[in-house]
Amino acid sequence: MTAAQRVLLRPITMGLLLQSLFLLLLFLLGSCLHPAAAFPKGCYPSEEEGLKTFRCSNAQLTEVPRDIPNDTNKLYLDFNQIPFLPRDAFRDLPLLLELDLSHNAIARVESGAFQGLAEHLHSLDLSSNRLVSVSKDVFSNLKAKVNLSNNPWLCDCRLQELIRAVELTADSSGGIVCDSSTQEEHVGKAFLQVIADTDFCNVYKRTTDIAMLVTMFGWFAMVISYLVYYVRQNQEDARRHLEYLKSLPSKQRRSEESSTISTVV
């Protein structure tokens, strides 16, 4: 290659080198802004029907993942092994419209778990988990339609209050079945069918009232018994003292009797 050819090729070589360096710089910047390691294995963002979606279905998760994009509209965490939902689990997702937590191992939901979702969330799926009892306060101010079917529910006043506090999704109420109950005959029956004839909260209130009355009666009986014992004991002491005085010489006896009678009176 001649010197002239080398001179002509030098700018081309430099241009290619600069282009490669520029592409490498863009790649490194992209990796810093959107690191691949930010999302758990099996999770990925997408767009469905114009809504920003984040899918973690069947990703073997044992907790709600962090670093979910805060502009997510639909979040799928179904078919995992998540055991409970801590407070503020979704607080950084103000635009969330749909949340699918079905087919997990959720047995406990802390108060405030859905805090921050009240304004926009319209669909919450908690079906096919391990929920036995949940406070109605967990869903406080939540306007979303909730699916609570296929959980091992304990049918009692707490569940009755919960069902009255939430709006169930269409056709999901029949899937809320008594796995256990304060009354054995309700086991295996749909909860809405049971509460058509039984008011668990009234039964609980009557039981509580009876227990309170029994306790009050017990205390009252103890007070009366103590007063009766106290009066009888004083009378017995006074009788024994008078008998003792009778055994004394007459002059001393009259003096002691006057003192005893004054004390008794």
Amino acid at residue number 33 = L
CA 38 to chain CA centroid, nearest Å = 29
Q: Which of 26-30, 86-90, 101-105, 252-256 has the lowest mean pLDDT?
A: 26-30
Amino acid at residue number 257 = E
Judged against a pLDDT cut of 60, whether residue 66 lies above it is answered with yes
Distance CA 17, CA 239 (A): 121
Q: What is the pLDDT of residue 202?
A: 86
Q: Structure tokens of 155?
A: 């049918």
- Over residues 34-61, the pLDDT tens digits come to 444 468 889 999 999 999 999 999 999 9
**Is the Cα dihedral 136, 131, 112, 204 positive or negative?**
positive
Distance CA 193, CA 79 (A): 29
Q: Which of 85-99, 103-117, 176-190, 193-207 has the lowest mean pLDDT?
A: 193-207
Query: pTM above 0.75?
Result: no
- Over residues 206-257, the pLDDT tens digits come to 444 444 544 554 555 566 665 666 666 676 766 666 666 566 665 555 555 5
Amino acid at residue number 78 = D
Distance CA 85, CA 92 (A): 15
- Over residues 127-180, the pLDDT tens digits come to 999 999 999 999 988 999 999 999 999 999 999 999 999 999 988 999 999 999
